[in-house]
Amino acid sequence: MREDIKINDRAELISDQLIEKLEQIYDPEIEVDIYNLGFIYSIQLDNDAHCDITVTFTGIGCECIESVPIEIEAALLQIPEINSVAVHIVWSPAWKITRISRFARIALGINPG
């Protein structure tokens, strides 16, 4: 799991599955997945198998604001350890280009730094 994502111990146990699902959800404007774009701020999984995931987008006008949360919920519900999902959209802290992973920077032709 990325170091810039806050994740609790229960979610950490299934982090490989979470990453696999989140890497399948793309921002249609940028054509890179939301995990590598750095849209995910936190993932919390409680004892009742409820997953709270906090995300952001590049800006309020981002076309995927309505579709991506639906895709996140559908994808995470495919994980047997998750029974319900709540997607929380936040604007603070604002998304910055520095949140893009090295992998995505290379894919986008940005200096991987």
Q: Two tokens at 40?
A: 């995910």
Residue among 4, 101, 7, 3 at smallest CA distance from 53: 7
Q: Two tokens at 92?
A: 């603070």
The torsion of the CA quartet 12, 51, 78, 65, rounded to 10 degrees, works out to -110
**pLDDT in tens for each of the 113 residues of the chain?**
999 999 999 999 999 999 999 999 999 888 899 999 999 999 999 999 999 999 999 988 888 899 999 999 999 999 999 999 999 999 999 999 999 999 999 989 888 76
Interatomic CA distance for residues 76 and 105, integer angstroms: 25
Domains of the chain, start order: 6-101 (3.30.300.130)
- Is residue 51 within 8 Å of residue 84, measured between CB atoms? yes
